[in-house]
C-alpha cells in the first residue's frame, strides 16, 4: 500500500513521528513536508504550498492509496487543492495537538480561528486520529463550546459524526537507544527537556528549583527546543544556579540521548500536554518522573504509580524535593513505556490505514 504522509511542521516530535512511521511501517510511506517554523502561518497557509508539492510528486506518476496529514494545516483547504491531482484517496488527519485549549501568551491574545481550523480539519477527514485518550476527550469537550459561541448554523449536529470516525493512535517512539546501561550515582541530575515556551510553565519550574536548591543538592540539565522568543525565566535560572548547571543547550540527537540516559529525574510543569514524548523517552531510559496529575500524564503512567509519581496542582515543589531525596524509579516503570515503541505502535497505524 502507498501511504502519503504530509507533515506541515517537520521538526521536533512531528519529524520524529513522520520519520518513525516511515521507517517502521510495513507499507511504502512517502513524506511531503515543510520546515518547522511559524506555526500560525503553517496553520493558515501551508495547504497551498503542500498541494503544490504533492502535485509535483503526482507529475512523476505517484498515486497514494491513503493520505495521512498532521494537524498543523487547514486540511479542508488542502483536500480541495488536491482535487484532481492524486485522485480521491481516503484521508486521515492526525492530531498531535489542538489549538482549542492552547494557553495563549500575552503576545498573541485570543484567536478562535486556529481552534476552528482544527474543527474543519476533523470535519473534512475520513478518519481522525488523536495521540492520546485525553486529547480526544478534550477535543470533543471543547469543540461544542467553541461552536456554541457562534450566532447560528453552529455545526453542533455534526460533532457526533466526527466523533464516530475518531480513535486514538499513540505517538510511536523509537526507544531502542534507551536500553543502554548507564551508571546513576552521586548527586541526582534533574532534567527539563521541554520546549522553552510559556505553555510548559517554566516559571513554576524555576521557582521550585530555586526553593529546593536552598536545602537539597542536585545537578540541573536544561534541554529542549528553543525558538526566536524564549522565556527569560530559564536563562535567569541558569545564571543563578550556574554552579549546579550541567547542560544548558538544545543538543544534537546523540548528545541529547546520552544526557537523558544519565538523568535521574525528569520533570514537567506543563499547562498543555497531549502526549509527552520527551517524558516517555526519559522514563524508558530509567529516570524517575515528577509529573502533574492531569493532562495526558495519568494515561502515560501506570495507575499503581499515580500516588507516588503524580503531584496535585500547587505541589510541584514538594514533589521535586521528594524525588531528589529518593531518585530511584519504581521497578517496571521503564519497561511499561515499551507500549509506545514503534515496534508495537507501527502495526496499529498500518491496520488503521488499511481499514480506511
Q: What is the pLDDT of residues 146-187, one digit of tens each?
A: 999 888 899 999 999 999 999 999 999 999 999 755 656 689
Average pLDDT over residues 184-195: 87
- Listed by start position, the domains of the chain span 2-172+342-355, 176-339
pLDDT of residue 129: 98
Question: What CATH superfamily is the domain 2-172+342-355?
Answer: Glycogen Phosphorylase B; (3.40.50.2000)
Task: Please count the other Cβ atoms lying within 10 Å of the Cβ belonging to residue 161.
Answer: 10
Dihedral Cα 319, 321, 322, 324, nearest 10 deg: 120
Specify the pLDDT at position 232: 78
Write out the three cell numbers for 280: 516517555
**Alpha carbon separation from 97 to 115, 184, 224, 262, 275 (Å, rounded):** 11, 34, 18, 29, 9
Cα-flanking dihedrals φ and ψ of residue 127, to 5°?
Answer: -145, 150
* Confidence at 110, pLDDT banded by 50, 70, 90: low
Question: Angle at which helices 39-58 and 113-124 pack, to 10 degrees?
Answer: 30
Name the band, by pLDDT with cuts 50, 70 and 90, for residue 112.
confident
Beta-carbon contacts of 81 under 8 Å, excluding residues fewer than 6 positions away, are 47, 48, 51
Helix (H, G, I), strand (E, B) or coil at 2: strand
Ramachandran angles phi, psi of 78, nearest 5°: -60, -45
C-alpha to C-alpha distance for 297 and 316, rounded to whole angstroms = 14
pLDDT at 108: 47
For the segment 185-206, the average pLDDT, to the nearest whole number, is 88
Radius of gyration of the chain (CA): 21
pLDDT digits (tens, 9 = 90+) for 238-277: 889 899 999 888 888 899 999 999 999 999 999 989 999 9
Q: Do domains 2-172+342-355 and 176-339 have the same CATH topology?
A: yes
What is the β-pairing status of strands 189-192 and 166-168?
A: unpaired
Q: Are 272 and 295 in contact, with CB atoms under 8 Å apart?
A: yes
In which region does residue 296 sit, left (phi positive, over 0), alpha (psi from -120 to 50) or beta (all else)? alpha
Instruction: List the CATH code of the domain at 176-339.
Output: 3.40.50.2000
pTM of the full structure: 0.90
Give the HSE-up count for residue 250: Cα atoms under 13 Å, Cβ half-sphere.
Answer: 9
Amino acid at each position: 500500500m502507498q501511504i502519503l504522509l504530509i507533515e506541515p511542521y517537520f521538526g521536533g516530535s512531528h519529524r520524529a513521528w513522520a520519520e518513525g512511521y516511515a521507517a517502521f511501517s510495513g507499507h511504502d510511506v512517502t513524506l511531503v513536508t515543510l520546515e518547522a517554523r511559524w506555526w500560525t502561518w503553517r496553520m493558515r497557509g501551508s495547504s497551498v504550498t503542500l498541494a503544490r508539492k504533492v502535485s509535483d510528486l503526482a507529475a512523476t506518476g505517484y498515486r497514494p492509496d491513503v493520505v495521512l496529514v498532521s494537524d498543523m494545516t487547514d486540511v479542508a483547504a488542502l483536500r480541495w487543492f488536491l482535487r484532481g491531482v492524486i485522485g480521491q484517496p481516503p484521508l486521515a488527519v492526525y492530531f498531535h495537538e489542538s489549538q482549542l485549549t492552547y494557553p495563549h501568551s500575552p503576545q498573541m491574545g485570543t484567536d478562535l480561528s486556529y481552534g476552528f481550523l482544527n474543527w474543519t480539519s476533523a470535519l473534512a477527514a475520513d478518519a481522525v486520529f488523536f495521540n492520546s485518550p485525553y486529547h480526544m476527550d478534550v477535543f470533543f469537550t471543547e469543540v461544542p463550546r467553541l461552536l456554541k459561541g457562534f450566532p447560528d448554523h453552529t455545526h453542533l449536529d455534526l460533532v457526533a459524526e466526527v466523533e464516530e470516525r475518531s480513535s486514538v493512535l499513540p505517538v510511536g517512539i523509537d526507544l531502542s537507544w534507551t536500553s543502554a546501561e548507564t551508571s546513576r550515582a552521586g548527586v541526582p541530575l534533574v532534567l527539563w527537556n521541554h520546549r522553552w515556551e510559556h505553555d510548559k510553565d517554566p516559571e513554576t519550574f524555576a521557582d521550585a528549583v530555586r526553593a529546593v536548591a536552598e536545602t537539597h543538592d542536585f545537578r540541573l540539565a536544561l534541554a529542549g527546543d528553543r525558538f526566536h522568543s524564549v522565556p527569560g525565566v530559564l536563562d535567569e535560572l541558569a545564571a543563578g544556579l550556574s554552579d549546579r548547571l550541567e547542560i544548558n543547550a538544545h543538543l544534537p540527537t546523540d548528545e541529547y540521548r546520552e544526557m537523558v540516559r544519565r538523568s535521574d529525574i525528569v520533570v514537567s510543569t506543563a499547562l498543555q500536554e497531549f502526549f509527552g514524548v520527551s517524558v516517555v523517552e526519559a522514563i524508558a531510559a530509567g529516570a524517575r518522573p515528577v509529573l502533574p496529575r492531569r493532562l495526558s500524564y495519568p494515561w502515560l503512567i501506570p495507575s499503581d504509580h499515580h500516588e507516588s509519581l503524580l503531584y496535585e496542582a500547587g505541589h510541584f515543589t514538594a514533589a521535586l524535593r521528594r524525588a531528589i531525596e529518593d531518585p530511584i524509579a519504581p521497578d517496571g516503570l521503564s519497561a511499561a513505556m515499551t507500549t509506545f515503541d514503534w515496534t508495537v505502535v507501527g502495526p496499529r497505524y498500518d491496520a488503521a490505514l488499511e481499514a480506511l
